[in-house]
Amino acid sequence: MRHKVLSGLFFLSVIVYLDRVCISLVSGQIKKDLNISTEMWGWVLSAFALSYAIFELPTGVLGDRIGPRRILTRVVLWWSVFTALTGTAFSWLHLILIRFLFGAGEAGAYPNASIVVSRWFPAGETGAAQSFIWAAGRLGGVLAPVVVMGIAQVYGWRTSFWVLGAIGVVWALVWHWWFRDLPHEMPGISPAELKYIEENRRFKAHSHHFPWRQILRSRNMWALMWMFHLYMWGAYFFTGWLSRYLEEGRHFSADDRKMFVMLPFSRRIGLFCGRLRERLAFPALRPEIWAAHRRHTGTGAFQHRHFAGGYDDG
């Protein structure tokens, strides 16, 4: 049953990136229709990023307190409505407001997906589950150029937002009908799986204490935050500006842009699938052998980046 739950989170992550990347793929048409300059367009993208940063922590806290079933249903419905409303924008300020409210909803996706994983997966499976969810987001980035630009070329850019908004609403309704916050509440789960999950997970019921002082004094936490800040600094170009750069700076056609916008996302999916294949093919290898393997592949990746001039965004 937990793998069906993971499938639901997989599709959620695909939708997250479809909706997030959509606006950059049709930015040229939007700018032309609404008479928006490149500088003004930066404010449109920043409105999303600002609200995403502001609301990520509060939506995670709410998920801990009242459960990810209700929070994910609400935030997906929220951002799907504002995805659809993006297709109704009639001015620059109107678009900024819509994208700010859109970001407030999307901010709750990954924190609450992590809550689901902590409740539904044994400690030894949480890393793999999280990797699967993140790889799904990159799959959404790969699919977005085909889906969004294909719809926009035939029916116009506004229709692409309406279609994606409808997809999100369907996911939210199915999730609310089917999912339960805790494994023992889920109809159809086997006694053996329920026992295995509850005996091996890290989740503690009714425990909402968060050691703020300890976290803020942790050098490891600050190092991770700084690392992720730098990662997002570079990655944001691919989700927000790459399509615009290829169209205006390099004069790529729509068909060429589809292929090149896919590349940063497809590469990360390839890395994930390669590691998954290795694990499935050689499950019995001892931990020390896998540690040596990781050191070897890490050295190879370093050499590739520095001597072949490749870009690696994580």
pLDDT tens, position by position, 149-192: 999 999 999 999 999 999 999 999 999 999 999 999 889 889 99
Taking the C-alpha atoms of residue 86 and residue 160, their distance in angstroms, rounded to an integer, is: 10
State the pLDDT at residue 248: 80
Taking the C-alpha atoms of residue 106 and residue 114, their distance in angstroms, rounded to an integer, is: 14
State the pLDDT at residue 9: 96
Residues 6+ apart with CB under 8 A from 37: 31
Average pLDDT over residues 22-37: 93
Return the structure tokens found at 235. Answer: 């990655």
State the pLDDT at residue 81: 97
State the pLDDT at residue 208: 62
State the pLDDT at residue 207: 61
State the pLDDT at residue 201: 85
User: In terms of pLDDT, which residue wins out, 198 or 34?
Assistant: 34
CATH architecture of 2-202+235-283: Up-down Bundle (1.20)
Taking the C-alpha atoms of residue 106 and residue 100, their distance in angstroms, rounded to an integer, is: 10
State the pLDDT at residue 284: 43
User: Does residue 37 have a pLDDT over 70?
Assistant: yes
Q: What is the DSSP string of 234-262?
A: HHHHHHHTHHHIIIIIS---HHHHHHHHH
DSSP state of 67: -
CB 103 within 8 A of CB 50: yes
CB 21 within 8 A of CB 164: no
Taking the C-alpha atoms of residue 137 and residue 51, their distance in angstroms, rounded to an integer, is: 20
State the pLDDT at residue 258: 76
pLDDT tens, position by position, 67-111: 999 999 999 999 999 999 999 999 999 999 999 999 999 999 999
Return the structure tokens found at 52. Answer: 């995403």
Q: Indicate the pTM of the whole model.
A: 0.80
Average pLDDT over residues 232-244: 81
* Number of other residues whose CB lies within 10 A of the CB of residue 210: 10
Return the structure tokens found at 116. Answer: 């689901």
Return the structure tokens found at 12. Answer: 């959620």
Average pLDDT over residues 270-285: 48
State the pLDDT at residue 300: 37
Mean pLDDT over the full length of the chain? 83
| Domain range annotation of the chain | 2-202+235-283, 288-314
